[in-house]
Structure 1
Amino acid sequence: MTPAIETLKKLNIQFDVLSYQHEVNNTHYGMEAVEKLNLNSAQVFKTLVLETHEQALIVALTSVDEQVNLKQLAKLYKAKKLTLADAKKVHASTGYVLGGVSPLGQKKRLKTFIHKRALNFTTIYVSAGRRGLEVALSPNDLGRAIDATFAEF
């Protein structure tokens, strides 16, 4: 049981858990989930932890087949610049390791943005907090659970 799954249970949110055997040498975590679980890549969302020029951390969720427009997201957050956060900072803040970072059940709640294309689906998939583990849930339920902002970036 991961903190992400515990959070969903505590909030009484409907979800399904999907698991697969993670290949240790595979660092394309989201695409690995797509391939091993035979999912639509547009519905599988990666959780990126980003750092502002002032060293604040934020979270962005976008489908694994898309890139985050850092300039657009920085503008939404009213930051000068965003970069990917260092793995140690990600772990310290979220409690998760890269490839298993879930937007749910993080140690510290970070401001979170979900790309609005998630709303095109009744179900999306996000990390359940461990490599090889995904949760399927409604994007609206996810947004409410983590107090996220849906936006284009």
Structure 2
Amino acid sequence: MAKSPKISKTNAVRFLDQQNVTYQLFEYEVTDGKIDGVSVAQKIGQPVEKVFKTLVATTGPGKVFVFLVPVAQELNLKAAAKAAGAKKIEMLPVKDLLGLTGYVRGGCSPLGMKKLFPTFIDDSAKELNTMIVSAGKIGMQIHLKPRDLVACTLGTYVALT
């Protein structure tokens, strides 16, 4: 009997297992270099409205925030700053991402980061039965219920696009 290939567990997957959250993993090919969210949605056969990208922003030293928006949308920085209770917010430099979150650009999950940062999820997720976020590495996505994501990240729904 042949064994199925073992899926490597990321911090995000281990975290969901610890929380007893039901999820499904999607893996996709990355050798073509198309790892943008819209391409990922197509590769895993899911509507772009269900696939969310994880963006990390800062209002200054030590003030880090996580935002989840549909992959085909752009984060409204004014809405993000308002959600964070700040006048201004900017995207975290890519060079700082791994050190702060434990994840790389293109594989950043809102789950299982080195530290639990304030997390804001675009309110469009409230209308979904399930949603998809990065599993913590390029080539892998997690399919789960929005309420489970909110519970695991202590997230808040906000209009972000």
Segments of 5+ residues of structure 1 without an aligned counterpart are none
1:20 paired residue among 25, 28, 40: 28
SS in 1 for 2:147: helix
| Superposed CA offset, 1:6-42 (max 9, x none) | 00000000100010111363352x1221111111000
Whether the aligned pair in 2 keeps the contact of 1:45 and 1:62 (CA below 8 Å) is yes
Q: Any idea what SS the aligned residue of 1:73 has?
A: helix
Q: Is the CA contact (8 Å cut-off) linking 1:53 and 1:81 kept in structure 2?
A: no
TM-score normalised by the chain length of structure 2: 0.90
The residue number in structure 2 matching 1:86 is 93
* Residue type at the aligned position of 2:15: T
Could you say if the C-alpha distance between residues 83 and 76 of structure 1 is closer, same or farther in structure 2, counting changes exceeding 3 Å? same
TM-score normalised over the length of structure 1:
0.94
Aligned to 1:123: 130
Q: Look up the SS of the partner of 1:119 in the other structure.
A: helix
Match of 1:3 in 2: 11
Number of matched pairs:
152
User: 8 Å contact 1:113–1:148 — kept in the other structure?
Assistant: yes
Change (3 A) 1:33 1:128: same
Distance of aligned partners of 1:67 and 1:102 in 2 relative to their CA distance in 1, 3 Å threshold: same
Once superposed, what is the RMSD of the aligned Cα atoms?
Answer: 1.3
Q: CA deviation at 1:88?
A: 2.0
1:37 matched to which residue of 2? 44
User: 1:111 is aligned with what amino acid?
Assistant: P
1:117 Cα deviation from its structure 2 partner: 0.5
Larger Rg: 2
**Partner Cα distance (1:24, 1:105) in 2:** 27
Per-residue CA distance 1:101-148 (angstroms, 9 max, x = gap): 000000111110001110111110000001010010000000001100
| Deviates further, 54-63 or 39-48 | 54-63
Maintained 8 Å contact 1:112/1:147: yes
- Residue 56 of structure 1: aligned partner: 63
Name the amino acid aligned to 2:13.
I
Aligned residue type for 1:19: E
Query: Unpaired runs of 5+ in structure 2?
Result: 1-8
Aligned: 1:106 with 2:113: yes
Query: Displacement, 1:51?
Result: 1.4
